[in-house]
Amino acid sequence: MTVELRPVTAKNWQALIKLQVREDQRNFVASNLYSIAESQFGFEDEDGHWDLIPCGVYADGEPVGFAMYCLNMNHPRFRAFIARLMTDEKFQGQGHGRAAMQQMLELFRADERIQAVGISYEPENEVARRLYASLGFVEPGELLDGETLAILNLR
């Protein structure tokens, strides 16, 4: 199986907004429609402007999930942040979430300006916590907007 991240375009955004998590997972992630809207503008915080890069997750050419990362080369702790990751309820548990994470991390490793990557998740999201910990993310013991923060040092 080939899993790839593809840009969100005029051709695929309607297929990507149809992808959904299970009802009991809806408080773990924003809808893909919201994320794609948000990505048009990026966001500002005390460390400056973050660009948001939304991606479709494709398995053997079929859309199965969605991811979005942010970049801010002025951030003092992590210049990359994984803002969204979801696999449609019909395709979960088949390795797509892990593969999408690995592909984002490869992109970041290839950019020598990015020294660390941040991610955050609801404290009760055990599946996410275990997945990210297995990829090397470590919790410094802080909350970010009420979510557990984890950081992976790349270099």
Is residue 121 involved in binding ligand COA (CB under 6 A)?
Answer: yes
Minimum distance between the CB of residue 112 and ligand COA, rounded to whole angstroms? 26
Minimum distance between the CB of residue 100 and ligand COA, rounded to whole angstroms? 8
Of 94 and 115, nearer to ligand COA (C-beta) is: 94
Applying CB under 6 A, among 5, 8, 16, 21 the residue interacting with ligand COA is 21
Residues 86-115 that bind ligand COA (CB under 6 A): 86-87, 92-98
Collect contacts of 13-22 with beta carbons under 8 A, ≥24 apart: 15/56, 15/63, 16/56, 16/63, 16/66, 19/63, 19/64, 19/65, 19/66, 19/86, 19/88, 20/88, 20/89, 21/86, 21/87, 21/88, 21/89, 22/89, 22/92
Residues that bind ligand COA (CB under 6 A): 21, 25, 28-29, 85-87, 92-98, 121, 125, 127-128, 131, 134
